[in-house]
Chains A and B, each alone.
Chain A
Amino acid sequence: MGDIITVTSGKGGVGKSTLAANLAVGLSEAKNKVVVIDFDIGLRNLDMILGLENRIVYDVVDVMEGRCNLSQALINDKRSRSLYFLPASQTSDKNILDKDKVKKLLVSLKKDFDFVILDSPAGIESGFEHSIFLADRAIIVTTPDVSAVRDADRVIGIIDAKSEKARNGEEVLKHIVINRIKPELVLKGNMLSQDDVLSILALPLIGVIPDDEQIVTSTNSGEPIFYNKKSVAAEAYRRITKRVLGDEVSFIDLFAKRGFLHRIFG
């Protein structure tokens, strides 16, 4: 039985889909069979980040409504062969998902895959609820700014209420990823530090991703940054992947002398 990992945040635009994509690539590069599903019905995005937008024929709603087989809808990644992608539907009715059908799909995927990664939509509406319902673990992405942290706190507060696992008395693992940290600003005292965010959200950390311009380039070209050996953010994603797999890995020292980072990644 595989694990369902839901990537969520509350606030939009903090890097959920980018994390979902890179974590999926990372786990499959580590020889796991992975499927990543875009749950943002009506606002499909993960396809562009993965560079698979031209290969979409069927989507997740087609599968749930029985308009096609699962194997017809799953898109095999061109580079990581054990990675599969199930796109969101572009219908304007975002309430189209049905709880029982979501459950049926996810339960069957769990049998076939080592990891099922769900890219949750922003907000706390039904799409979010569907994506968290069967989660074994949740990764909450936030950036170090007041609105993202506040929304993350709201989401953390309702995960257990919406989770089947929590209802059965089991624990949904919850971890924080802090995205787009700018070390120079933290040093100047003008950006919340990772300790600030963690003490407010009171959950363990699973990743810190520094602000990295190369993310823009990689999204533009549809090549997940994970493959980029020179990017600091890619290194952060690689370490997150290892932690998800249970390894103890140190966090990147964001405050190391610039020259040092440049020597490695520059």
Chain B
Amino acid sequence: MTLFERIFGKKDGNSASTARNRLTLMLATERAACSTPYMDEMKTEILDVVKRYVDDGNVRIKTEQNQNIDILELEIDLKKRDD
């Protein structure tokens, strides 16, 4: 740190992290929009079927995307019914 910075304080120095955050956010939306356009529709249809068999409180649905893969993760908790 130079004497100048010591006295006046280091004002700049985090614009890179601002850039990183802005880009990450922006690309997350852009990738989601163009990669699998049918994602929402598919999700609703799958849920419609699943709901016929289990309570929708037992279903967790998650999507994940990056450059190489699109994942739709579906976790269904099949509770044993008390007889």
* Contact with B16, one of A153, A157, A191, A201 (Cβ below 8 angstroms): A191
Chain A residue at smallest Cβ distance from B26: A150
The range of chain B's interface size is 20 to 34
Chain B residue at smallest Cβ distance from A156: B67
Give the segment of B27-35, B44-52, B54-62, B74-82 that binds chain A.
Answer: B27-35
- Say yes or no: A189 contacts B15, CB within 8 Å: yes
* Contact with B13, one of A145, A154, A190 (Cβ below 8 angstroms): A190
CA distance A149 to B16 in the complex (A): 13
Interface size on A, residues (CB 8 A): 20
Q: Is A188 an interface residue (CB 8 A)?
A: yes
| Chain A residues whose CB sits within 8 angstroms of the CB of B30 once the complex forms | 150, 153-154
* Contact with A157, one of B19, B26, B67 (Cβ below 8 angstroms): B67
Q: Is B22 an interface residue (CB 8 A)?
A: yes
| Chain A residues whose CB sits within 8 angstroms of the CB of B15 once the complex forms | 189-190
User: Which residues of A158-199 have CB atoms within 8 Å of chain B's CB atoms?
Assistant: 186, 188-193, 196
- Say yes or no: A192 contacts B27, CB within 8 Å: no
User: Which residues of A30-50 have CB atoms within 8 Å of chain B's CB atoms?
Assistant: none
- Say yes or no: B68 contacts A188, CB within 8 Å: no
With most chain A CB atoms within 10 A of its CB, the pick from B23, B34, B35, B67 is B23
Contact pattern, A 216-245, Cβ under 8 Å of B = 1, otherwise 0: 000000000000000000000000000000
CA distance A193 to B17 in the complex (A): 10
Residues of A within 8 A of B (CB): 145-146, 149-150, 153-154, 156-157, 186, 188-193, 196, 200-203
What are 29 of the A-B contact pairs (CB < 8 Å)? A145-B19, A146-B19, A146-B23, A149-B23, A150-B23, A150-B26, A153-B27, A153-B30, A153-B31, A154-B30, A157-B34, A186-B16, A189-B13, A189-B16, A190-B12, A190-B15, A190-B16, A191-B16, A192-B16, A192-B20, A192-B23, A193-B16, A196-B16, A200-B20, A200-B23, A200-B24, A201-B67, A202-B67, A203-B67
